Amino acid sequence: MKHLDQEEESGVYQRAVLKNASPYHYMKVRLVLEDETSRLSAVELKQFILTGLKTLHGEVGAAINFDLLKYDEDTLTALLRVYSSGLVKLWSSLTLLGSYQNQDCAFRVHQVSPFLLALTGNSRDLQLD
Amino acid sequence: MSVDLSSTPRTLLVCERSSFQEEKNRVSTQVEQLRFNYKVSLLLPECNSLPSQLESVLDSFTSFYLIKQLPVYELLDKDFLETAVYQGNVYGLSYKTRIDEDNCVALLPNGRLCLSLDKDSFEVLGFEGKPSKFNHRTKSRFVISVDLTDRRMAPGGRGYQRLLTGLKSRLQLQTDFLLSHHPGGGASLQSLLSRCDWSEHRPQMSQRGLTELSCPAVHSCDPHSLLEWLGAVDADVTCENSSSSFLSTLACPEPKTTLSRALSVSVCGLLLPQDIQRLIDQLRCYLQQPRLESWVSLTVHGFADSPVSWGENEHGFLKGGENFYTLLMFHNHTYRLHLATGAHDACPP
Amino acid sequence: MPFSSSHVFPWPPSSSMAVFMDLNIRVDPDKSKLQRLIDTAAHLGFSTVALNYVFEPSTKKKQEIPVPTPISELIGELPVVQGRSRPIRVLNRLTVVTSDASHFRPNAAEYRRFDLLAVEPTTEKLFHAACMSYDVDIVCISVTEKLPFFFKRAPINGAVDRGVLFELSYAAAIRDSTRRRYTIANAVCLMETCKGKNVILSSAAEKALELRGPYDIINLGSLFGLSDENSKAAVSSSCRSVLLHAETRKTASGIISTSRTDQQEALQDQTDPGDEPSAKRPKHS
Amino acid sequence: MVRVKSRYLLCEVNVSDRSHLLLLDDRSVGAAVKDAVARTHGDYGAALCSVRFCVKYLNAHTGIVFLRFPKRCYKLLWSALPFITSVEMRGQKIPCFLNCLHVGGTIRTCQKFLIRYNTQQLHRMLPKCKNEEEKQQVRRSILNCSQAWGNKEELEGEGESGEDEEE
């Protein structure tokens, strides 16, 4: 591997175009509960999402491992990471989750991207007035 | 026609490596190609306070103006053309308009006016244009791209007259509008601002100090892991997870070292490519001074709802409109450049 | 020639742009619940919604077709659409659930009070009639029970040719697992024949938390056998065609009257002679 | 009628005690498949499975069963079959598993395969025959297997089979 680094160091011009190559997709989601004051811990949130996956997509769905990269318990906002092949299943199960401990709820998906960086640079968040 | 649940929309990532000393390097043209930038985020390893020269560059970012309910035909006003469009570089983008739903307007530095209109507005305007590249089945969106510096579009000319009448009395297109000018700034825009309800805005800067940050070998790390790590730093996501932890297995790419401290700086607003180029030049000087760590990273996010993204290529929004680039600069003048784009975009330059 | 600034032409039309729409929100007598529904829809980015009055005639007693309450009475202040600067547009719609041929009275006067007209047939014969002959804008596909019939190509093509669209709603799928299976099964059957064209996706939500964002529905479309692009059309451009179809349906039986104001004439001689300037005619070499 | 394409799976029910085979009927096998699909692929799978899935043919003697799936999602439904561990028959759980021998676009292509498959099994039984009389019996059944295929050709194709080629 060593010679490769040398070549990289020397600044020889290299260009590669990768198509559909990102292994993961990232989601910025927020859980809205009927009773605004109730709270979930990170573990409870992940388990709740897993039940949704299992109901909608069965054991295959439950086998999709996704990461809770970041979670703010006050706003119930989370950043999720999932293998690109599991994105549609995860997203559809979030959409069809309607109640948490017999309280109405809804997952609001703010942004989905194959790049975590894009989640911190969404121009639709620009508030000027 | 069963839909494969494991497929995701198209995405492109261009990875380039070269050196600033190589005459063929195109960084400055690539930076210049992304005209409407929403956010710049900077990562300075082993640095805990922003060096003064960098701070002054960031403070000197051109301010921009928000015009409320701008009648778009005002952009064809003679004085405005003379003071803002024909001299220097004007940057204009409709604000709070969604490229996949609403009419969007962009005024490019080379004097080109881009209107991305839905079918009805396009037909009422009555000016020639072509269907959007991202139409699906029915032609529901059309793009009109006009070079205002062209003699046919000179005030009084035939094309100018028809566009002015179309915008003024037939379509009466109105939109909130972001406007900026380089190098003239507000002065060059005075002719238009004086007739509208406007407010001046400064790009918003924020800083965040980081300590004990695990950091990958940025020279040889594979592009996606590198971009993921940079995204994690920007989003303040911890990489200290074990692969067996239930909540998250995100870990810093191996082989990794630990930075005792680092500074993450971000600026938001309508940011001009010229300002970003100045920032890059300043960063390169910063890298020449002896310092502990020999690299810095700069990420620039384009506007998700701009009618154009790279150069004059049409930009669209399917389920995401991301287009950004990350420039990793090293002490020895070499760099790694990653240009990323989503489903409805041309390939970055 | 100074141009008069008076409105010469009622444009831009906010009615028919291909913005995100949810054409089925169940109307609710409880004003605060309805206001929350409309506010949530605006917050999620829907620019146009339709309040759905459901009318299920039963042969037993004579029922009255509901009368739509004027929007201004139902909803106080129309909220601004998320990330935009214009308020949400609210229409009203009637859905007639037919289990017998007599339930749908062609061009009944009461139907004309609504902006949109939909029919939900519950038998194969009525489905065929709805697609081929009923003067409606939307044919609803049941999501609360397994369809007792298969979709034959004839009625589907008949509806497509007449510009009548099929509607699938997702709120039932959120409520419980049985209805979720029926919704997915019926949707997949429909897509088998109509290939994802001529379909709209809407909520049929009864409360705010049953609404989902447009991009969520686009992703959900994959479960129904729709591609991303078809799903996106199903919440935007196809909904626009419903609005246009409704406009033509309502004006077709009424008298169309347009009068040209003098400015229009003055304007017309100004620009190129000939008809409405259409972009198709090449202007430049 | 819209000609909707299907996929036919020719499977063999493998049981430890062959006598149990006789207890099976197509309803119970169908229920076992539906349950496995619902467990493996959840509501989504169950919904797809409720659209035109059925057990077309079950031979309780040989344990051969024909399953029909919609072409659009047969791979997904097929992926659930390995998870069947038993079939419930009148309250009694018969431990078994389904071995998928062949996937065909029509019943006919599956039939052709079945006949070739049966002939092979008979050939494999030949060396194991204890006495001459058994060997004769096996040879005779191999013969009428190939003969059976002979007159099968003239017979008009059965059911909806015939027009769709294998994938």
If one counts the domains in chain A, the total is 1
Phi, psi of D5 (to 5 degrees): -75, 145
**How far, in Å, CA of B211 to CA of B215, rounded?**
11
Residue A6 confidence (pLDDT) above 50 = no
- Chain B's closest residue to A124, CA to CA, is B304
Residue B4 lies in a domain: no
A3 within domain boundaries: no
pLDDT of residue A10: 61
- The token pair at D68 is 């029909």
- As to burial, measured by CB atoms within 10 angstroms (0-12 exposed, 13-18 middle, 19+ buried), residue A58 is buried
CATH of D1-105, one of 3.40.1160.10, 3.40.50.300, 3.40.50.1580, 3.30.70.3250: 3.30.70.3250
Which pair of structure tokens corresponds to residue C173? Answer: 């799928």
Q: With an 8 Å Cβ cutoff, are A91 and C219 in contact?
A: yes
CB contact under 8 A, D51 and C150: no
| Structure-token pair, residue D158 | 């059965």
Residues B30 and B42 in one domain: yes
Do the Cβ atoms of C16 and C240 come closer than 8 Å? yes
The string of DSSP letters for C111-160 reads: GGGSSEEEEEE-SHHHHHHHHHT---SEEEPPSSS--SS---HHHHHHHH
pLDDT value of position C12: 41
How high does pLDDT run on average in chain B? 93
Could you give phi then psi for residue C151, rounded to 5 degrees? -85, 115
- Give the model's pLDDT for residue A7: 46
Max alpha carbon distance in chain D (Å)? 56
Whether B1 maps to a domain, the answer reads no
**DSSP-based three-state secondary structure for D136:** helix
* Residues in chain D where the model's pLDDT stays below 50: 1, 154-167
Q: Best interface-test mutation with C: which of B1, B2, B3 has the largest number of C CBs within 10 A?
A: B3
Residue of B nearest to C224 (CA): B3
Q: Residue C180 pLDDT more than 70? A: yes
Structural domain includes residue B21: yes
Q: How far is C62 from chain B (nearest CA, A)?
A: 44
Counting Cα atoms < 13 Å in the Cβ hemisphere of A74 gives: 0
My answer on whether omega of the bond before B183 falls inside 30° of 0, hence cis, is: yes
Residue B275 counted as domain residue: yes
Q: Does A60 touch chain B (CB under 8 A)?
A: no
List subunits contacting chain A, requiring 3 or more Cβ pairs under 8 Å: B, C, D
* Amino acid at position C39, single letter: D
Residue C110's SS3 state is: helix
- Cα–Cα distance between C272 and B49 in angstroms, integer? 64
CB B263 within 8 A of CB B207: yes
User: What whole-number distance in Å separates Cα of residue D145 and Cα of residue D142?
Assistant: 5
Which pLDDT value is given to residue C54?
94
Residue of B nearest to C11 (CA): B171
Tokens representing B1 are 């026609």
What would the pLDDT profile of B19-36 be if each residue is shown by its tens digit?
Answer: 999 888 889 999 999 999
Q: pLDDT band at A11, cuts 50/70/90? A: low
Range B9-26 average pLDDT: 91
* Residue bearing the bigger pLDDT, A5 or C218: C218
Q: In the prediction, which pLDDT does A66 show? A: 96
Q: How many CB pairs under 8 A join C and D?
A: 37
Q: Which residue has the tokens 């409405």?
A: C276
Residue D116: which of D151, D149, D161, D139 has the closest Cα? D149
Q: How confident is the model over B53-72, as pLDDT tens digits?
A: 999 999 999 999 999 999 99
Q: Give the closest-approach CA distance of C271 to chain A in angstroms.
A: 39
**Bridge partners, B215 (sequence order):** B257
Q: Does the pLDDT value for residue B134 go beyond 60? A: yes
Task: Give the end of a domain, one of B201, B226, B257.
Answer: B201
Q: For residues C150 and C176, is the Cβ–Cβ distance under 8 A?
A: no
Ramachandran assignment for B185, one of left (phi > 0), alpha (psi -120 to 50 degrees), beta (any other):
left
Beta bridge partners of residue C117, listed in sequence order: C94
pLDDT for C110: 87
How do the domains of chain D map onto residue ranges? 1-105, 106-155
B108: its two tokens = 């490019």
Q: Rounded to an integer, what distance in angstroms lies between the CA atom of residue B106 and that of residue B307?
A: 7
| Closest by CA position to C186, among listed C98, C95, C122, C119 | C122
The answer to whether B46 and B215 are in contact (CB under 8 A) is: no
User: Please, which pLDDT band fits residue C281 given cuts at 50, 70 and 90?
Assistant: very low
Range of the domain at B40: 12-61+203-341
Q: Which of the listed residues B201, B228, B254 is the one where a domain comes to its end?
A: B201
Query: What is the Cα–Cα distance from C27 to C204, expressed in whole angstroms?
Result: 9
Is the residue at B6 inside a domain? no
Cβ contacts of residue D37 below 8 Å, gap of 6+?
A: D45, D46, D48, D49, D77, D80
CATH number at residue A91: 3.30.70.3250
**Based on the structure, what is the number of domains in chain B?**
2
Q: B245 and B296 share a domain?
A: yes
CATH fold label, C21-252: TIM Barrel (3.20.20)
Q: Is the peptide bond before A114 cis (omega within 30 degrees of 0)?
A: no
Neighbours of chain D (3+ CB pairs under 8 A): A, B, C
**Residue (of C73, C65, C121) closest to C93 by Cα position:** C65
Which one has a higher pLDDT value, C212 or C58?
A: C212
* Arithmetic mean of pLDDT, A84-108: 96
- Is there a domain that residue B5 lies in? no
pTM assigned to the model: 0.90
User: Is residue C270's pLDDT more than 60?
Assistant: no
> Does residue B57 sit in the same domain as residue B68?
no
The rounded distance, in Å, linking the Cα atoms of C156 and A47 is 42
* pLDDT 10s digits, B257-272: 999 999 999 999 999 9
Q: In chain C, which residues have their Cβ closer than 8 Å to the Cβ of B97?
A: 84
Identity of the amino acid at C113: R
Structural domain boundaries enclosing A90: 29-119
**Residue, of C181 and D165, whose pLDDT is higher:** C181
Task: Tell me which of B170, B201, B232 is where a domain ends.
Answer: B201
Contact B141, B131 (CB under 8 A): yes
What's the confidence (pLDDT) of residue C92? 94
For the record, the structure tokens of B284 come out as 């390169």
Least confident range from A85-89, B104-108, B202-206, D163-167: namely: D163-167
Omega into B71 within 30° of 0, i.e. cis?
no
Structure tokens at D99: 């071995």
pLDDT at A115: 97
For residue A63, give the H/E element and its range. none
pLDDT at D164: 39
- Determine what percent of chain D falls in helix, strand and coil, rounding each to the nearest 5: 50, 25, 25
Query: What's the Cα-to-Cα distance from C128 to each of C152, C192, C199, D86, rounded to whole Å?
Result: 9, 17, 17, 43
Domain ranges, ordered by start, for chain C: 21-252
Side chain identity at A78, as an amino acid letter? A
Q: ipTM of this model?
A: 0.89
- Separation of alpha carbons B210 and B259, rounded Å: 9
Measure CB to CB from residue D51 to each of C153, C180, C185 and give the nearest one: C185
Check residue D139 and give its pLDDT.
86
Q: What average pLDDT score do residues C212-226 get?
A: 96
